[in-house]
Structures are given as structure tokens and as C-alpha cells.
Amino acid sequence: MKLIGSFASPYVRKVRVVMAEKKLDYEHVPEDVWSAQSAIGLSNPLGKVPCLIMEDGGAMFDSRVIVEYLDTLTPVGKLIPSQGRERASIKCWEALADGILDAAVLVRLEKTRRAPEHQSQDWIDRQMAKVHGGLKAMSTGFAETPFCAGNQFTLADVAVGCSLGWLALRFPEITWRVDYPNLGKLFDKLSERQSFKDTAPH
């Protein structure tokens, strides 16, 4: 398998952490989707990473679809419960963690890719409200259990860890560690895993 993606993308990192946790082999193909020369459109019509190229040459996107597929490839390190409420709960954690990223990425694009006179403060505020609301929900939803959804490490932890890691890199001014110490504690614990160490964004 080949994984097309940049090293800084939190969605790509989610897939890389899952690959590592499940001990799957793959080749990482670095791709800068913002470069005029990017060929990502040949594999993903949406022009986004991550994109997984499977053994038969078929392409798969987006990160949520890819990680769900990877979890079926081997029973090693099962990350998503197979059915019912438990499964939905893990997917909901992932939607929350990814949703925070989606909003924060929009803010970053607004601030870095638009001339100051074309930037909309209303739009930025709207997206930042989602980031802050999402962080609060993550902190509230995370009871005093070892991991997000209880005693077991799951995809919820992968998604939350990647989301917080990217916020720390791109939005150091968001004080989630101070505001939500339980998220800080969880993040520190996740950061000790080899899968997180090997994929830290840069």
C-alpha cells in the first residue's frame, strides 16, 4: 500500500498512527497539495490528502474511510468496535476531533491564503467557536478513564491525539492545556506511544 500525504497534515497523521498501531507495512509518498505541480488530483478527485493507494492500484479517501478499512485488515490492535452503540461512540469521537480540525484548518487558510483586506472576521469567529466548543466537549466527554472511551486505546484516542497535536503546532495561542488539564494529561500519555512519537508533525 502507498499513503499519499504531507507530514504536517493531522488527517494523514491519523492514518499513519493507525498503520503503526496495527503494524501494517506501507510506503509513504510525500505530497504538497498546495504546490502547482501537485498530481494529487490523479488519485483523489477532491485534491486532498490522505489518499491510500491499495495493492490493486485502487485509490481510497478520506481519512475516516481509510482508517476504517485498515482496521479490517488485521485483528492486531483492533481500534474500532465492530457494532452497535460502542462503534458509533468511537466514530463520534473521531467526528468531533476531525471537526475541530476542519474548523481550525479553515481559519488557518483564511489567515494565510487570503489578503488581509479579504479576510472575514465573522467567518474566523464562527470557526473558532467550533474549535472551542469542540475542545470543551472533548474534555467533558473524557471521564477519568485511562483512554477516551474507557480502558482500551481506540481510534478515538488516535483522532483526539492528532487533533490536539496539530492545534499545539499551528495554534499555540489556544490554551487547551490550561483550560482542560484532563486533555493535557491524555495528550502527554498518547505522545509517549511509539506511533505518536514517530509521526509527530513538523
Contacting positions for ligand GSF (CB under 6 A):
9-11, 33, 47-50, 61-64, 98, 105
Shortest reach from residue 117's CB to ligand GSF, in Å: 23
Q: Is the dihedral of CA 7, 12, 14, 18 positive or negative?
A: negative
Which residue, 127 or 180, has its beta carbon nearer to ligand GSF? Answer: 127
Which residue, 64 or 136, has its beta carbon nearer to ligand GSF? Answer: 64
Strands laid side by side in the 27-29 sheet: 27-29, 2-4, 51-53, 59-60
Shortest reach from residue 40's CB to ligand GSF, in Å: 7
Which residue, 126 or 185, has its beta carbon nearer to ligand GSF? Answer: 126
Which residues make Cβ contacts (< 8 Å) with residue 106, sequence separation at least 6?
123, 127
Which residue, 11 or 196, has its beta carbon nearer to ligand GSF? Answer: 11
Which residue, 35 or 121, has its beta carbon nearer to ligand GSF? Answer: 35
Amino acid code (one letter) for 40: I
Shortest reach from residue 145's CB to ligand GSF, in Å: 26
Shortest reach from residue 15's CB to ligand GSF, in Å: 8
Shortest reach from residue 136's CB to ligand GSF, in Å: 22
